[in-house]
Amino acid sequence: MVVLVTGANGQLGQSLQFISEHYSDIQFHFYTSTELDITDNKCIREIFTLIKPHFCINAAAYTAVDKAEAESEKAVLVNVTGAKNIALICNEFSTVLIHVSTDFVFDGIKETPYTEEDTTNPQGVYGKTKREGEIEIIKHLKHCFIVRTSWLYSSFGNNFMKTMLKLANERNSLNVVNDQIGTPTHAVDLAQALVKIVLSGSQNFGIYHYSNEGKTSWYGFAKEIFNINKTIIDLNPIPTSEFPTPAKRPKYSVLDKSKIKTEFGISINDWKESLRLYK
**What is the C-alpha separation between 272 and 212, in angstroms, rounded?**
9
Give CA separation, 138 vs 198, 205, 260, in Å.
18, 10, 18
Is there a contact between 103 and 211 (Cβ–Cβ < 8 Å)?
yes
Q: Would you call 23 a catalytic residue per the annotation?
A: no
Is there a contact between 278 and 155 (Cβ–Cβ < 8 Å)?
yes
Task: At 229, give phi and psi (nearest 5°).
Answer: -90, 5
Complete DSSP assignment for 144-211: EEEEEE-SEE-SSSS-HHHHHHHHHHH-SEEEEE-S-EE--EEHHHHHHHHHHHHHH-----EEEE--
Is there a contact between 52 and 102 (Cβ–Cβ < 8 Å)?
no
User: Which among 126, 153, 210, 252 is annotated as catalytic?
Assistant: 126
Q: Which residues are catalytic?
A: 126
